[in-house]
């Protein structure tokens, strides 16, 4: 049976269509909403000020206006945190595809609020609309990789799992292009610019319901064998469907006495502590790598490099093309290289380039060509991020856990991701004021530390079933337990206080090694 499970499966039109539809209508909106407020910032602030003059007869002070605009930007992350916290409940109730389809209503509500905010003279509608788009993005960032990871055969899980990250980069690029003065960058167009997100979601809503739910969800959580076979036939061309169902049933049997875990129970489960720690490290590292700070200050760095001010918006848009190209490189090499090399390589490139930015910013006053090296370092950080750290952590979160643990793992990973996102946005300006150019060394340290952690702790999950990955971590746990217990027992013997110690230790080892 082991040989049968390893029969390669091929990429079908159905798999590709679902990956593109879910990413186009959900993941792309995350990237778009990250960048959409940059271009019309002046117009939105002007609208806030004029509205307050009309309401109160007096405009806002500079500090209050900055606070309102900062709230407009950061409330997106607060919504994302809320979305990531409720995703577990949604995927259990509605399924993976069902959650993607049902949450499209949030985009239509948010788009309507932001689109009609100027007509209604309501800044609150923009802020609340941004909050709701954040909730949708928080849900999407977890459920789309989960859905694609479960419908994909194991030899295509990496490829399909990175499709959302390509569309996140595409969303950023779309916001940069549409924000140009020649398109929607004019003052009269900013409400349309904010609300255009409804278009890709509408296309998704029309087409996605025709595709089946995740086969793993249908079999393991809904116990519907007939629907599972139908879904597998829809998503597979040349594969042994019976072998796939047997692999799922093996996982189902291992979970027959285990209910879907809550976040609290997952954190208390010693058998998966290394998986949980790995999800914590890579999700925090993904945001604390400094990528958001780089995106936010790209214009400043380009201005310092001597790029003419009118051309900066086009140069920034050029970095969006780098994001898409780097994402495609990651997507098409992940099944050949594996998850580890893309994460280790991506974080290492980002760490080296962060050190490079520090050096170039310090030296550029004396050596003029260093300014151009700082631009290269910015491009290097963006490329390094999009090759691996942008998408692989979401994919790995799906692969490190069995079905009963997966929803809670995504809640942990997603909430830490958004909290870190908010922290960087809030802390970075103060960090830059206090540390100057040296602030990028903080990001360099974090990136290189995460790269080392991945190299030492996380095994390669390429072409492995979910059960095989679980066993790989169980072996690591057993080895660490054995080493720890031998050390403890030696200490107890030295203290002449080892009565019953060895017996207790062997029981602990048995309980940890009995996990499949």
Q: What would the pLDDT profile of 365-397 be if each residue is shown by its tens digit? A: 777 777 778 888 888 998 898 888 887 887 788
Q: Is the pLDDT of residue 145 over 70?
A: yes
Instruction: Please tell me whether residues 163 and 272 are part of one structural domain.
Output: no
In a domain, 487, yes or no: yes
Which helix (H) or strand (E) segment holds residue 207: the answer is helix 198-207
- Alpha carbon distance 368, 230 (integer Å): 64
Highest mean pLDDT, choosing among 210-214, 219-223, 241-245, 343-347: 343-347
Q: What is the pLDDT of residue 12?
A: 80
Under the banding of pLDDT at 50, 70 and 90, the label for residue 476 is low
Q: Is the pLDDT of residue 262 over 50?
A: yes
**Residue that is last in its domain, among 171, 193, 211:** 211
Query: Do the Cβ atoms of 174 and 184 come closer than 8 Å?
Result: no
Query: Do the Cβ atoms of 337 and 324 come closer than 8 Å?
Result: no
Give the mean pLDDT of the chain: 79
Q: What is the mean pLDDT of residues 2-21?
A: 67
In a domain, 340, yes or no: yes
Q: How many CB atoms lie within 10 A of CB 310?
A: 8
Instruction: Please tell me whether residues 348 and 438 are part of one structural domain.
Output: yes
Instruction: Please tell me whether residues 38 and 187 are part of one structural domain.
Output: yes
Q: Is the pLDDT of residue 503 over 50?
A: no
Q: What is the pLDDT of residue 329?
A: 87
In a domain, 243, yes or no: no
Q: Is the pLDDT of residue 496 over 70?
A: no
Instruction: Please tell me whether residues 179 and 273 are part of one structural domain.
Output: no
Instruction: Please tell me whether residues 336 and 441 are part of one structural domain.
Output: yes
Q: Which domain holds residue 279?
A: 263-492
| Residues 6+ away with beta carbon under 8 Å from 510 | none
Q: What is the pLDDT of residue 515?
A: 37
Q: Is the pLDDT of residue 509 over 50?
A: no
Q: What is the mean pLDDT of residues 42-61?
A: 82
Instruction: Please tell me whether residues 39 and 178 are part of one structural domain.
Output: yes
Q: What is the pLDDT of residue 511?
A: 35
Q: Is the pLDDT of residue 487 over 80?
A: no
In a domain, 347, yes or no: yes
Instruction: Please tell me whether residues 325 and 468 are part of one structural domain.
Output: yes
Pick the residue with more confidence: 253 or 119?
A: 119
In a domain, 224, yes or no: no
CA–CA–CA angle 153, 155, 156 (5° rounding)? 70
Q: What is the mean pLDDT of residues 160-171?
A: 85
Give the count of domains, the chain: 2
In a domain, 227, yes or no: no
Instruction: Please tell me whether residues 282 and 167 are part of one structural domain.
Output: no
Range name among 11-20, 224-233, 486-495, 503-512 with the lowest pLDDT average: 503-512
Instruction: Please tell me whether residues 149 and 272 are part of one structural domain.
Output: no
Whole-model pTM: value is: 0.76
In CATH, what number is assigned to the domain containing residue 298?
1.20.1250.20
Under the banding of pLDDT at 50, 70 and 90, the label for residue 453 is very high
Instruction: Please tell me whether residues 384 and 278 are part of one structural domain.
Output: yes
In a domain, 27, yes or no: yes
In a domain, 268, yes or no: yes
Residue 485's alpha-carbon distances to 276, 352, 472, 479, 503, in angstroms, are 22, 39, 20, 10, 11
Query: Do the Cβ atoms of 169 and 125 come closer than 8 Å?
Result: no
| Residues 6+ away with beta carbon under 8 Å from 423 | 287, 288
Q: What is the pLDDT of residue 318?
A: 80
Instruction: Please tell me whether residues 289 and 190 are part of one structural domain.
Output: no
- Alpha carbon distance 473, 277 (integer Å): 12
């Amino acid at each position: 049976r082991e040989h049968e499970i390893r029969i390669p499966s091929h990429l079908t039109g159905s798999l590709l269509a679902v990956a593109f539809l879910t990413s186009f209508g959900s993941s792309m909106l995350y990237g778009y909403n990250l960048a959409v407020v940059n271009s019309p910032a002046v117009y939105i602030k002007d609208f806030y000020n004029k509205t307050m003059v009309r309401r109160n007869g007096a405009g806002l002070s500079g500090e209050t206006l900055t606070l309102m605009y900062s709230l407009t930007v950061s409330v997106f992350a607060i919504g994302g945190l809320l979305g990531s916290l409720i995703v577990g409940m949604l995927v259990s109730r509605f399924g993976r595809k069902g959650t993607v389809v049902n949450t499209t209503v949030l985009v239509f509500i948010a788009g309507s609020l932001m689109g009609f905010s100027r007509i209604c003279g309501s800044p609150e509608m923009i802020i609340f609309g941004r909050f709701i788009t954040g909730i949708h993005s928080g849900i999407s960032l977890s459920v789309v990789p989960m859905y694609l990871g479960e419908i994909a055969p194991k030899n295509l899980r990496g490829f399909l799992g990175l499709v959302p990250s390509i569309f996140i980069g595409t969303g950023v690029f779309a916001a940069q292009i549409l924000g140009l003065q020649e398109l929607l960058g004019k003052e009269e167009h900013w409400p349309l610019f904010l609300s255009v997100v409804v278009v890709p979601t509408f296309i998704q809503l029309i087409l996605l319901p025709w595709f089946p739910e995740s086969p793993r969800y249908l079999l393991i959580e809904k116990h519907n064998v007939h629907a599972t076979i139908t879904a597998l036939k829809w998503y597979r061309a040349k594969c042994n469907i019976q072998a796939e169902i047997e692999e799922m049933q093996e996982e189902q049997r291992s979970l027959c006495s285990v209910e879907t875990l809550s976040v609290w129970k997952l954190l208390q489960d010693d058998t998966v502590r290394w998986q949980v720690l790995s999800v914590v490290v890579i999700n925090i590292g993904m945001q604390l790598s400094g990528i958001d700070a780089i995106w936010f200050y790209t214009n400043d760095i380009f201005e310092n490099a001597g790029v003419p001010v009118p051309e900066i918006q086009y140069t920034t848009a050029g970095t969006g093309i780098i994001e898409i190209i780097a994402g495609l490189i990651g997507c098409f090499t992940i099944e050949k290289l594996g998850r580890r090399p893309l994460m280790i390589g991506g974080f290492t490139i980002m760490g080296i380039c962060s050190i490079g930015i520090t050096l170039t910013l310090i030296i550029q006053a004396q050596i003029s060509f260093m300014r151009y090296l700082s631009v290269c370092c910015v491009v290097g950080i963006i490329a390094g991020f999009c090759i691996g750290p942008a998408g692989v952590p979401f994919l790995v979160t799906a692969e490190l856990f069995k079905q009963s643990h997966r929803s809670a793992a995504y809640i942990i990973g997603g909430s830490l991701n958004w909290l870190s996102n908010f922290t960087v946005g809030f802390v970075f300006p103060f960090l830059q004021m206090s540390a100057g150019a040296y602030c990028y060394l903080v990001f360099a340290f974090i990136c290189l530390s995460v790269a080392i952690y991945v190299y030492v702790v996380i095994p390669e999950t390429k072409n492995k079933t979910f059960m095989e990955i679980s066993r790989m971590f169980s072996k690591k746990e057993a080895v660490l337990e054995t080493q720890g217990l031998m050390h403890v027992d030696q200490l107890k013997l030295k203290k002449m206080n080892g009565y019953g110690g060895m017996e207790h230790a062997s029981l602990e080892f048995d309980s940890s090694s009995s996990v499949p």
